[in-house]
Amino acid sequence: MVRRTAATAAALLAVVLAAACDTPAGEPGASPSVTTAPEAASTLPGLPAPEAAREALEGLTVADPRPMTGYSRDHFPHWTTEDGCTVRETVLRRDGTDVEVDDDCRPATGRWHSPYEDADYTDPSDIDIDHVVPLANAWRSGADAWTEEEREAFANDLTRPQLIAVGNRINREKGDQSPDQWQPPEREFWCTYALAWVAVKDAYGLTVTGPERAELEDMLGTCG
């Protein structure tokens, strides 16, 4: 069961989206508005300290993966829209630098650093918004028992380190794999990735497998 109520998650989501999209629409033909955000690695919300993450990992339930029976990405509705901005657009603005958006909140230009493979991009079409804990992995870890409202809150969570802008090729390479099956090629990001993964699983009461837990312990070891 999710540890926070869906109503609370929805309220938090509305506040974050409203703040990110609180830009008056320009007149037809006007220049896009400009938003500047720091690098993605420094903007992930809710990252725990390494010691807190290690303690949280110890507390996670170890279990075999649940069956994929009935799974569909449609059971995790995304991306939520609030005040004209989708969650995807909000993360693109948050994780990019010199991001220019049109009157519909769609990023047109900017720069994005994908920490998974330590690569830079300037075309928003080359960027995916990754669910750090993939939706299918969440399903196998306990989300199959959630309500659709709870799954929607999980898939659009801007208050946890669950959403990050990365290159679309590396995101598709990752797929729905857990850390024992796939790690970011950029080893320098392993600490942050493990902190984020553990924080999300802990917040939502999701289970881990034995190999997943062992790999997370190793990755947290890179935090120093």
Left if phi > 0, otherwise alpha if psi is -120 to 50, otherwise beta: which for 211? Answer: alpha
Q: Is the pLDDT of residue 7 over 50?
A: no
pLDDT digits (tens, 9 = 90+) for 19-40: 444 433 333 333 322 222 334 4
Please report which confidence band the pLDDT of residue 73 belongs to, taking 50, 70 and 90 as the band edges. Answer: very high
Q: Is the pLDDT of residue 199 over 90?
A: yes
pLDDT digits (tens, 9 = 90+) for 127-162: 999 999 999 999 999 999 999 999 999 999 999 999
Cα dist. 39→2, 29, 141 in Å? 30, 30, 30
Cβ proximity of 53 and 195 under 8 Å: yes
Q: What is the pLDDT at residue 42? A: 55
Q: What CA–CA distance (Å, rounded) separates 82 from 20? A: 10
Q: What CA–CA distance (Å, rounded) separates 44 from 195? A: 10
Please report which confidence band the pLDDT of residue 224 belongs to, taking 50, 70 and 90 as the band edges. Answer: confident
Looking at this protein, which amino acid is placed at residue 10?
Answer: A
- Between these two residues, 202 and 19, which has the higher pLDDT value? 202
Q: What CA–CA distance (Å, rounded) separates 187 from 173? A: 16
Closest CA to 61 of 158, 141, 152: 141
Q: What is the pLDDT at residue 4? A: 41
Token pair listed for 201:
């699983």
